[in-house]
Structure 1
Amino acid sequence: MAAERRARREARYHSRRNFSRGSGPVSLVVLCMTVREWRLLVTESTDGATNMAIDEALWRGRQAGTSPPTVRFFGWDPPTVSLGYGQPLDDSVDVAACRRLGVGLVRRPTGGSAIYHDGPERELTYSVLADGTDLGGAGDLLETYRWIAVALLRGLRGLGAAAEIVAVPEAEGPTPAFCFARTGRYEIEIGGKKVVGSAQRRQGTCFLQHGAVILGVDEPRLRTVFPTTRDPLATMTTLEAALGHRPKFEEVAVALERAFEEEHGLTLRPGGLSPEETARVAALVAEKYGTEAWLAGTA
């Protein structure tokens, strides 16, 4: 029975992703939800500017009370390097190589360091957009990091990975250019190496947190786009390395969906973007995330 339920969930993910293929974010009206009933949003892989605009649009909507608390799973097309909000665009990222390889560049609304986001065959990216009250009172930054981390941990362990939360990381030095060069508090490792990298942005008690779950890695490309990082794989691992096979995007999404529901007593209802959210996404791409000024950090 468990296998049948899992197969039905994976089929549902295939159906959702095919529904929105080639048409951008799905535009569906989101119904009113209770505090324990959240929206599950699975969006088609898209470019960096659109992905970041979707996350900010959902976050702004939650602040205004017009969007429900949301868990989102998504991918990147083309593969993209995302920079932290305050990170300089310098020689730690080989911009010329990115252009040559067709790798996009975008600046996130969240802090932290740069991540190379491969396509959905090698990465699942999650985001959580909510208010502290939606979490039952887990209000500050570290509490929300932990709230999300325990669900991610449950999902990865459900896949068979011997994952662990790092509650107290080793002493910190200068912020590295590459996100996976160092594990922060309440991030997740397997065998002492980071497998999920996350970042958060807050406005009052309302927050946006997103992060990359690494399924597999294109090692030559990773080394090319981060030329000043001596050995990216010294501190980074993948689910493929941990499990002996690379899990599919849909398989990981199903495991994480179930984990959020079971760990926190949520009901995740599949939905799409409202017309208001869709309009906000388009405006944010045109006025912010798709501009050279935002990418350069001068906007």
Structure 2
Amino acid sequence: MHGEYKIPGGKLVVVDVEVADGVLSDVRVAGDFFLEPDEALPAIDAALEGAPADADTAALAARIDAALPAGTVMLGLTTEGVATAVRRALARATDWRDFDWQLIHDAPQSPVLHMALDEVMVEQVALGHRPPTLRVWEWDRPAVIIGSFQSLRNEVDQEGVARHGVEVVRRISGGGAMFAEPKSTITYSLAVPESLVSGLSFQDSYAYLDDWVLGALADMGIKAWYQPLNDIATDVGKVAGAAQKRVAAGRGAVLHHVTMSYDIDADKMVEVLRIGREKLSDKGTKSAKKRVDPLRRQTGLPREEVIARMIDSFRGRYGLTDGEVTGAELARAEELVRTKFGTPEWTARVP
């Protein structure tokens, strides 16, 4: 069995392993990391040899920690990363390059249709009717998008959204509310087979699925990192937030969508969202306006150029073919708008 894991902010770990009588055997760890002394690598292999095949990531990492020679130095490598690569091998996880990725980047659409398309895309991937897909959103009007489990009255200032003509919708994933206007954000969804994140914890899957965009930002001169649980940050502030939804149908799939602040109107944002003190204190700031830092200022590039460079970065890493929403997918999404996402019952399901 073969497993690979790119450590967020680090290097690639590769593990080849067999299982005999319920324990690991013939373990070989490799990768492009840096490790001193040389004796540390065979010590890692030996520590994993004979480990129970059902041991979790923490237990495997503890075995490695206990076996490392004194003074071991790891660069781009962690014992948790090695353990994760083992778990991915045992789960027969797939890699980004195992798939033919499709890009969808359509004309601006309504917020409620975007909500429906996300559900349709991930269901179609789960059922094997659609390849893994990167979908870049364009908005045709301002919107507040609240998380699946958020209270409508607690998160949305109804007077503010009415005054500014902002549409309020609820998505299928958890997480917090966001404010978007045409050209003010960069929003994208990944609809991926569950096998891509097999062997990863929920938290690790966020970092894993965000890693490509960290590379894209680095190519534009922005040093960014994953900030648990679901943010992307830089030295000067948060630039993006992610959310996920798991689908059990078929072979299973994961929806991972991200909204990046390009040029947010912070004054308007605080008039349409109720951002409480507890939320702000958790982020280490006293002002909601300082919670996001626009990519426009950090890159100095037009929004369209930032998107183009992100797409090029993804294509260079994993391959990407231009595609489109099929007629059947659009019809299903429009049906979901009528029966679910466009209804008061869904939007106010948590009043």
* TM-score interval (norm. to shorter): 0.7 to 0.9
Quote the residue 1:241 is aligned against. Answer: 297
Quote the residue 1:22 is aligned against. Answer: none
Map residues 1-299 of structure 1 onto 2, 5 A cutoff.
35-119=98-182, 121-133=183-195, 135=196, 137=198, 140-166=201-227, 184-185=228-229, 187-191=231-235, 193-204=237-248, 205-229=252-276, 231-243=287-299, 245=300, 247-263=301-317, 266-297=318-349
The amino acid across from 1:248 in the alignment is P
The amino acid across from 1:237 in the alignment is D
The amino acid across from 1:59 in the alignment is V
3-state secondary structure, aligned to 1:90: helix
For 1:43 and 1:197, locate their aligned partners in 2 and report how far apart those are by CA, in whole Å.
Answer: 22
How far apart are 1:141 and its partner, in Å?
Answer: 2.6
**RCO (CA 8 Å, sep 6+): is it higher in 1 or 2?**
1
For 1:109 and 1:48, locate their aligned partners in 2 and report how far apart those are by CA, in whole Å.
Answer: 13
- Do the aligned residues in 2 keep the contact of 1:190 with 1:242 (CA within 8 Å)? no
Q: Deviations 1:62-85 (Å, cap 9, x if unpaired)?
A: 111111110011122211000000
The amino acid across from 1:250 in the alignment is E
The amino acid across from 1:203 in the alignment is V
For 2:344 and 2:230, locate their aligned partners in 1 and report how far apart those are by CA, in whole Å.
Answer: 33
For 2:218 and 2:199, locate their aligned partners in 1 and report how far apart those are by CA, in whole Å.
Answer: 23
How far apart are 1:199 and its partner, in Å?
Answer: 0.3
3-state secondary structure, aligned to 1:65: coil
- Do the aligned residues in 2 keep the contact of 1:83 with 1:108 (CA within 8 Å)? yes
Give the fraction of aligned pairs with identical amino acids, expressed as a percent.
28
For 1:53 and 1:81, locate their aligned partners in 2 and report how far apart those are by CA, in whole Å.
Answer: 15
3-state secondary structure, aligned to 1:199: strand
3-state secondary structure, aligned to 1:197: strand
Aligned length: 243
3-state secondary structure, aligned to 2:108: coil
The amino acid across from 2:106 in the alignment is T
For 1:73 and 1:267, locate their aligned partners in 2 and report how far apart those are by CA, in whole Å.
Answer: 16
After superposition, the Cα gap between the structure-2 partners of 1:97 and 1:277, relative to the gap in structure 1 and judged at 3 Å, is same
TM-align CA RMSD: 2.1
Unaligned runs of 5+ in 1: 1-33, 167-183
For 2:217 and 2:199, locate their aligned partners in 1 and report how far apart those are by CA, in whole Å.
Answer: 22
For 2:155 and 2:128, locate their aligned partners in 1 and report how far apart those are by CA, in whole Å.
Answer: 39
Find the structure with the greater CA-based Rg.
Answer: 2
For 1:49 and 1:56, locate their aligned partners in 2 and report how far apart those are by CA, in whole Å.
Answer: 11
How far apart are 1:92 and its partner, in Å?
Answer: 3.4
Q: Deviations 1:194-219 (Å, cap 9, x if unpaired)?
A: 10111000024411111101111112
